[in-house]
Amino acid sequence: MTTLLIYKSLHIFFMVAWFAGIFYLPRLFVYHAMTDNKESQEMLKTMERKLLYFITPFAVLTLVFGLLLIFEYGREWFKANTWLHYKLLLVITLYLYHAFCFKLLADFKHDRNKRSNKFYRIINELPVLVLLAIIFLAVMKPYS
């Protein structure tokens, strides 16, 4: 087994684990925005916080193993594979989304959410679309 395949396997594993949470967290925000029940709000605050802090190491490890893959493939490979440059732009978008979730978490924690459940339903779909584009780029490599 080569180092490259180990890095690739771990990159995919941590990405899947990260996305399991990044898909579910905004759904919790939807429920939180819909309820006025204080007990439910407190339970959702706990769930949101625990989930975001649980998946953040997966986001970091996804990045670490992705970068190790790039270094393993080498500089010339990186320069020649334009599809990867587009993928990385989308990945940066996902990390910004992840950071934005921390801001939303803080808003709910301090009871200052002003957004509707419809807003959270919409942002719940964004990482799905970005992931779809990333997968197409990684599999089809259209700009190689």
pTM higher than 0.95, yes or no? no
DSSP one-letter string for 26-64: HHHHHHHHH---HHHHHHHHHHHHHHHHHHHHHHHHHHH
| CB-CB contact of 68 with 4 (8 Å) | no
Mean pLDDT of successive 10-residue stretches along the chain, which has 144 residues: 93 98 97 97 98 98 98 95 96 98 98 96 96 96 84
What digits encode the pLDDT tens for the residues 28-41?
999 999 999 999 99
| CB-CB contact of 18 with 57 (8 Å) | no
Residues across the chain: 144
Please state, in angstroms and rounded to a whole number, the distance separating the CA atoms of residues 65 and 80: 20
Helix axes 117-140, 3-34, angle to 10 degrees: 160
Q: Which residues contact 21 (CB under 8 A, 6 or more apart)?
A: 51, 52, 54, 55, 58
